[in-house]
Amino acid sequence: MRDLVEYLQAYRAYVSANLGWSALLRLAAIWLVGMCLPLAMKALVALPTWAASLWMIVWALLGYVFGPYGMWKHQRGQNLTAALQDRR
């Protein structure tokens, strides 16, 4: 549980320093719309259930894979900066 709290604190610091809360909310809204898109499409056209399910699974997996990318990129940059400072 302690690791989760540390992760959430690091994520909050990353968002505050790099993205800003409005950008985070905008990305969260885009993700949510993407998840619900099959439901809207089913209301307009006949969409097979497997297609809607596949879309939502793939969309969730993409969010799971690319979600931590920004934090990883930021942490890698900090580690490289620290390593360069140590070499001096």
Quote the domain boundaries for residue 25: 2-87
Tell me the per-residue pLDDT of 23-68, one tens digit each, with 9 for 90 and over.
778 888 888 888 888 888 888 888 888 888 888 888 888 877 766 7
Annotate 31-53 with three-state secondary structure.
HHHHHHHHHHHHHHCCCCHHHHH
Find the Cα–Cα–Cα–Cα dihedral 76, 78, 79, 80, rounded to 10°. 90
Using an 8 Å Cβ cutoff, are 14 and 74 in contact? Answer: yes
Using an 8 Å Cβ cutoff, are 40 and 56 in contact? Answer: no
Tell me, what's the pLDDT at 38?
A: 85
* Mean pLDDT, residues 12-23 taken together: 77
Domain count, the chain: 1
